[in-house]
Structure 1
Amino acid sequence: MNKSLAVSLLSVSIALALQPALAANPKAPTFDPKRLSDEVKVLSSDEFEGRGPATAGEAKTVAYVSAQMQAAGLQPGGDIKDGKRTWTQAVPLLRSEITGTPMLSMSEGGKAQALTQGEQIAVRAALNGDKHVTIKDAPLVFVGYGVKAPERNWDDFKGMDVKGKIIVALINDPDFETGQGDFGGKAMTYYGRWTYKYEEAARQGAAGLLIVHETDPASYGWATVKNSNTNTMFDVVRDDPRAAHAPLEGWIQRDFAVTLFKQAGLDFDALKKQAQTRDFKPVELKGANFSADYDVDSKVITSQNVVGRLDGSKRPDETVIYSAHWDHLGVGQPDAKGDRIYNGAVDNATGTAALIELGRAFAHAKKKPERSLVFLNVTAEEKGLLGSEYYSSKPLYPLSKTVGVINMDALDPHGPARDFNISGSAKLDLIDQLVATAAKWNMTYSPDPKPEAGHFFRSDHFPFAKRGVPAISYGSGDDRIEGGVAASKAWSESYTRDRYHQPADEWEASWPFTGMARDLQVLYTLGSDLANSTQWPNWAQDSEFRAARDASAAERK
């Protein structure tokens, strides 16, 4: 039996096994493409100023989404104030911003070169609480991929003392280029994410970390790096922020890194190849030093998650969550046309509109769900999944009795596809149920087309997943009914290159939104099935998230 036939038969068997439960559900409601379009148009308009947390754009967004949820028929599901639930959950965040122009330079053999923020380098505002960053002639050390993974017998630091030094690391995993090795092959592990690399730099006591940007292993271009790292930074409020953040965090362009290594008598490509092996040892860039001097405006602010709710009719203490993030990058660096507003139409006004319309559909259903439904519109996803991290660390409704999380991030506003995907390649019951549900619309499951991009770690389901809650992030398919794979691929590549995290991510009147409308029928049915059952989905037996879920099993009896 060939592999594709086996996968097809497996999907059919799953669908048949679940058919009795699915058949008992009411027919999925229809979703209005025009309403979806109108909501995305409003949320991504210049009036909302790019929906940056802790800005006037946030206030407008929170007010709009709350009003839409209320008009849709949802109940407030957020913090309790004066004995009543509100529409929001307060999320305290450390807000940090570089004031003025940072003074950055690299010296080789005593000859200094000034660096321009956003060009050769993109330095993030300090998130360790420092009000001023001063680094004077710090030596540089190349640490490969910057990974310390004892369970894989992997250590890129090999005991080197990097205190007071600037370490330079590659993005993604050691397996990215070869597709095989100790890190799962082509698919990115958490060790490949920039968030992990910054955390490890802090644990090693480095003065800073500069990540070498390369488009393929990062899965996005330099414009995305520049726009995402040179504006206002946020983090959750930590007891010891220095344990998670070194004084300096940033990126450098690959071409600049190649030149830097060459001036130090090193071959960048040769060292990169060495870094893909367990035997790699850190290498000092002899004669190279880095200096930085800039002020930081750092303070604790309060942002908001928006939370709508429908109480379950039989088991209201059991919860199914739909989630999406409302934030984008706000106002930042101008593009070539001088546009400074990062409207975030696809990312993620689409998911927020989907959340509102799913809430409306459930609120107007003839029968209330047996379990409660929560519609969670989180803040600060673009700053590191901070709104979902906060909710999952301080949940309004117990995670042990959260049935599952269905996240929606950057949905395709075009026509329907023959397939769908999820972020990453995680194995869990939720994906089996989604496969069976989508089959009713003649849709098939396509594995994540770019597991090396690490999308599993880049959306708001991940903070729930790492705490054991079954969680998926739904993705629009790659095989459109009109235009096929070619049309979908062309748009996806164009979006990533020209719009993703750029001011050009704007609403277009030509978008039909018919694909989203169909996808929401599928997601509605999945959530309805979960909310009207007594089942508790779980992760696969060999999943790294299974143990955390099983640890709370007694609370679900």
Structure 2
Amino acid sequence: MNQKLTLRALSVMLLCLVMNNTLATDTAKRFAAHMDFLASDLLRGRDTGSPGHEVAAQYIATEFAKMGIVPAGDDGTYLQRIEFKSTLLDLTSPEFSYTDGDDVTQLEFLTEFTVGANINRTSSAVTGELVFAGFGIDAPFLEYSDFEGIDLTGKIAVVLSGRPQHFPSEEGAHYSRKGTQALVDRGAVGIITVVTPVSERIFPFSRAKEYISKPRIRWVNESGVVQNGYPEIQGSAGLSMAAAKELFSRAGMDLQAIYEQIENGQQPAGQNMGITATISYQSTHSSVTSPNVVGVLEGADPVLKNEYVLLSAHTDHIGVAEHIELGDKINNGAMDNAAGVSTLLEMAHQITQSDQRPRRSMLFAMVTAEEKGLLGSDYFAHNPTVPIDSIVANVNLDMPVLTNAFDQLIGFGAQHSSLWGVIERAVATENMKLIPDPMPEQGIFVRSDQYSFVKKGIPAVFLVTADKADMIFDEHEISSQEFMIEHYHKPSDQLDLPINYDVAAQFVAINRVIATEVANTDERPQWNQDSFFATIDQE
């Protein structure tokens, strides 16, 4: 009798192993098929509003329909159509000059200064006195303000890029993103941004030319008002480090000394600079539309099905690189973010094929215009197709680098809420480890689509793979760090990368476990009481 039971148990174990291996193999094949289409040259880099992106959106909607996921966009469709205002800079028009008396200094565009197209006006021109305002940050939660003792009314604010180094990562990035509004609230009519050694390392000034010919877009509401357009700012510019040092020197200020102050954790004092500057440039305006793709899988619990776990990934990339003179110009966005979309599609496939549906409903949102400033997710957060307070959590997938094996996941933002415990338990069942943000200085938690929902009070996590600590890479593998340096936002982020589709299947499986675990918990996730993000929607 015992021998029969043992043989039966062994048979069941072997059957489960075969089924799991078959599932992983099938997932890897489907994942590769999604990638082959979404990252193909046919889609021309899926730029927001482009025909290629429209094709990608329709592909995703068709996949949802095949799985039995119910439309949750506009008018009974999968698509939530967004109206955008687009603006393009006239590259021959930018001018920047300043005077400290009789001497006028004229700066060279793209070598010493850069500007961005103006979303509010076709002709931008501002002249004003310069006032140094530190980082231009007002952070009540951190008991910090750069505006003590200065008056910005009618002035051009000169601000440092980024935020103080002693700021906690996510909190600092949040307040840095609110900087323009803080300057508007204090009457500034123009902004000049100055690089710091930290910001120069993260994104060198010289790379500005890669984006200068791209349109800048913002979504507009039903009244035609531009969201976060800041019409009060009549003109703005960014300076190279060399040009900024010369400007400060002409004002009798030592920018290098200010750099040393912020390196030592000191707060530089704001002051009038005694210089008047003029910034001018021309922009052209147009309209463009682009869709989010939204669907729902109803939960199994008669009560909890009225709550939603939001699973998101962005569908857009940066299109065709006009600044590259020779060679491949198409930014296919294989890892960023065809891989995230493919992961979410395969998660949806596995969840819909399961015999046991999650208790809460799953809300799938494939959002547009992430590369333009998290615009698609921001629009959805302001115009949700389900009640916003019924969304209990957001699990976001953006640019998983699936080129080599991993044994741990980075849970950006998870430590701020009860999601940490739920996800930690889930990954442990897959013999994985959940680790906190290993690069807090980059503020990644507020740089992808989950941030749009965090600002609405929704606990969120952004999950990516972490390389094995003891891994030795061979010639057919690349690390996540190498990808960021060599391939991020470049035409080389394409299908000839050494994508490991077995690893992709593993990433799908563990994310499905995480999403299902969140959907099945009795209590909805909560922010930790001591977390900054527990107060963010109340500020």
Question: TM-score scaled to structure 2, two decimals?
Answer: 0.85
Q: Mapping of 1:213-292 within 5 angstroms?
A: 213-214=195-196, 216-217=198-199, 219-222=202-205, 225-228=208-211, 230-237=213-220, 239=225, 243=230, 246-274=233-261, 280-287=268-275, 289-292=277-280
Which of 518, 530, 555 lines up with 2:506 in the alignment?
Answer: 518
Query: What residue is the counterpart of 1:21 in the other structure?
Result: none
Question: Does the C-alpha gap of structure 1 residues 492 and 204 become closer, same or farther in structure 2, counting only changes over 3 Å?
Answer: farther
Cα distance in 2, alignment partners of residues 442 and 87 from structure 1: 36
Q: Is contact 2:414–2:461 with CA below 8 Å preserved after alignment?
A: no
Cα distance in 1, alignment partners of residues 526 and 510 from structure 2: 20
SS of equivalent residue, structure 2 residue 105: strand
Displacement after TM superposition at 1:274 (Å): 4.2
1:170-199 deviations in Å (ceiling 9; x for gaps): 22221x2xxx4xx33xx2524566532222
Q: Is contact 2:295–2:365 with CA below 8 Å preserved after alignment?
A: yes
Query: What residue is the counterpart of 1:369 in the other structure?
Result: 358
Q: Mapping of 1:504-515 within 5 angstroms?
A: 504-508=492-496, 510-515=498-503
Query: What residue is the counterpart of 1:13 in the other structure?
Result: none
Q: Mapping of 1:369-388 within 5 angstroms?
A: 369-388=358-377
Displacement after TM superposition at 1:380 (Å): 1.2
Q: Is contact 1:224–1:501 with CA below 8 Å preserved after alignment?
A: no
Cα distance in 2, alignment partners of residues 479 and 499 from structure 1: 20
Query: What residue is the counterpart of 1:146 in the other structure?
Result: 136
Cα distance in 2, alignment partners of residues 503 and 380 from structure 1: 19
Cα distance in 1, alignment partners of residues 420 and 528 from structure 2: 11
Cα distance in 2, alignment partners of residues 173 and 509 from structure 1: 35
Question: Does the C-alpha gap of structure 1 residues 500 and 250 become closer, same or farther in structure 2, counting only changes over 3 Å?
Answer: farther
Greater Rg by CA: 2
Q: Does 1:76 align with 2:59?
A: no
SS of equivalent residue, structure 1 residue 353: helix
Query: What residue is the counterpart of 1:94 in the other structure?
Result: 85
1:91-127 deviations in Å (ceiling 9; x for gaps): 233322224523222345533334224x433322113
Question: Does the C-alpha gap of structure 1 residues 228 and 160 become closer, same or farther in structure 2, counting only changes over 3 Å?
Answer: same
Cα distance in 1, alignment partners of residues 483 and 464 from structure 2: 15
Q: Is contact 1:124–1:248 with CA below 8 Å preserved after alignment?
A: no
SS of equivalent residue, structure 2 residue 92: strand
Q: Does 1:306 align with 2:293?
A: yes
Q: Is contact 1:73–1:364 with CA below 8 Å preserved after alignment?
A: no
1:234-279 deviations in Å (ceiling 9; x for gaps): 2232647564762334433223322332344321121234457676
Q: Mapping of 1:93-492 within 5 angstroms?
A: 93-108=84-99, 110-117=103-110, 119-127=111-119, 129-136=120-127, 138-174=128-164, 176=165, 180=166, 183-184=167-168, 187-190=169-172, 195-214=177-196, 216-217=198-199, 219-222=202-205, 225-228=208-211, 230-237=213-220, 239=225, 243=230, 246-274=233-261, 280-287=268-275, 289-294=277-282, 296-315=283-302, 316-335=305-324, 337=326, 339-424=328-413, 426-479=415-468, 482-483=471-472, 491-492=479-480
Question: Does the C-alpha gap of structure 1 residues 152 and 362 become closer, same or farther in structure 2, counting only changes over 3 Å?
Answer: closer
Identity %: 27
Question: Does the C-alpha gap of structure 1 residues 516 and 188 become closer, same or farther in structure 2, counting only changes over 3 Å?
Answer: same
Question: Does the C-alpha gap of structure 1 residues 114 and 121 become closer, same or farther in structure 2, counting only changes over 3 Å?
Answer: closer
SS of equivalent residue, structure 1 residue 37: helix
Cα distance in 2, alignment partners of residues 208 and 141 from structure 1: 10
Query: What residue is the counterpart of 2:15 in the other structure?
Result: none
Q: Does 1:48 align with 2:43?
A: yes
Cα distance in 1, alignment partners of residues 140 and 520 from structure 2: 43
Query: What residue is the counterpart of 1:9 in the other structure?
Result: none
Question: Does the C-alpha gap of structure 1 residues 145 and 320 become closer, same or farther in structure 2, counting only changes over 3 Å?
Answer: same
Runs (5+) with no aligned partner, structure 1:
1-25, 551-557
Cα distance in 2, alignment partners of residues 225 and 499 from structure 1: 17
Structure 2 counterpart of 1:160, one-letter code? I
Displacement after TM superposition at 1:540 (Å): 0.9
Structure 2 counterpart of 1:416, one-letter code? A
Structure 1 counterpart of 2:300, one-letter code? S
Q: Is contact 1:43–1:349 with CA below 8 Å preserved after alignment?
A: yes
Q: Is contact 1:32–1:517 with CA below 8 Å preserved after alignment?
A: yes
Displacement after TM superposition at 1:498 (Å): 3.1
Cα distance in 1, alignment partners of residues 498 and 143 from structure 2: 53
Q: Which moved more, 1:458-467 or 1:500-509?
A: 500-509
Question: Does the C-alpha gap of structure 1 residues 220 and 66 become closer, same or farther in structure 2, counting only changes over 3 Å?
Answer: same
Q: Mapping of 1:14-29 within 5 angstroms?
A: none
Question: Does the C-alpha gap of structure 1 residues 377 and 263 become closer, same or farther in structure 2, counting only changes over 3 Å?
Answer: same
SS of equivalent residue, structure 1 residue 503: coil
1:134-164 deviations in Å (ceiling 9; x for gaps): 234x433322111122444432122423344
1:300-325 deviations in Å (ceiling 9; x for gaps): 54321111221223343221111001
Question: Does the C-alpha gap of structure 1 residues 505 and 226 become closer, same or farther in structure 2, counting only changes over 3 Å?
Answer: farther
Q: Is contact 2:459–2:526 with CA below 8 Å preserved after alignment?
A: yes
Q: Which moved more, 1:523-532 or 1:380-389?
A: 523-532
Q: Is contact 1:190–1:457 with CA below 8 Å preserved after alignment?
A: no
Query: What residue is the counterpart of 2:7 in the other structure?
Result: none
1:489-522 deviations in Å (ceiling 9; x for gaps): x733333333322333222253213333212111
Q: Is contact 2:404–2:467 with CA below 8 Å preserved after alignment?
A: no
Displacement after TM superposition at 1:433 (Å): 1.1
Question: Does the C-alpha gap of structure 1 residues 171 and 548 become closer, same or farther in structure 2, counting only changes over 3 Å?
Answer: closer
SS of equivalent residue, structure 2 residue 308: strand
Q: Is contact 2:413–2:445 with CA below 8 Å preserved after alignment?
A: yes
Query: What residue is the counterpart of 1:542 in the other structure?
Result: 530
Query: What residue is the counterpart of 2:11 in the other structure?
Result: none
Structure 1 counterpart of 2:423, one-letter code? L
Q: How many matched pairs?
A: 508
Q: CA RMSD in A?
A: 3.1
Displacement after TM superposition at 1:217 (Å): 3.8
Structure 2 counterpart of 1:94, one-letter code? K
Cα distance in 2, alignment partners of residues 436 and 130 from structure 1: 52
Runs (5+) with no aligned partner, structure 2:
1-18
Cα distance in 2, alignment partners of residues 57 and 256 from structure 1: 40
SS of equivalent residue, structure 2 residue 214: coil
1:13-46 deviations in Å (ceiling 9; x for gaps): xxxxxxxxxxxxx989536234323322322233
Q: Is contact 1:429–1:540 with CA below 8 Å preserved after alignment?
A: yes
Cα distance in 1, alignment partners of residues 145 and 476 from structure 2: 43
Cα distance in 2, alignment partners of residues 503 and 204 from structure 1: 42
Displacement after TM superposition at 1:397 (Å): 1.4
SS of equivalent residue, structure 2 residue 307: strand
Query: What residue is the counterpart of 1:11 in the other structure?
Result: none
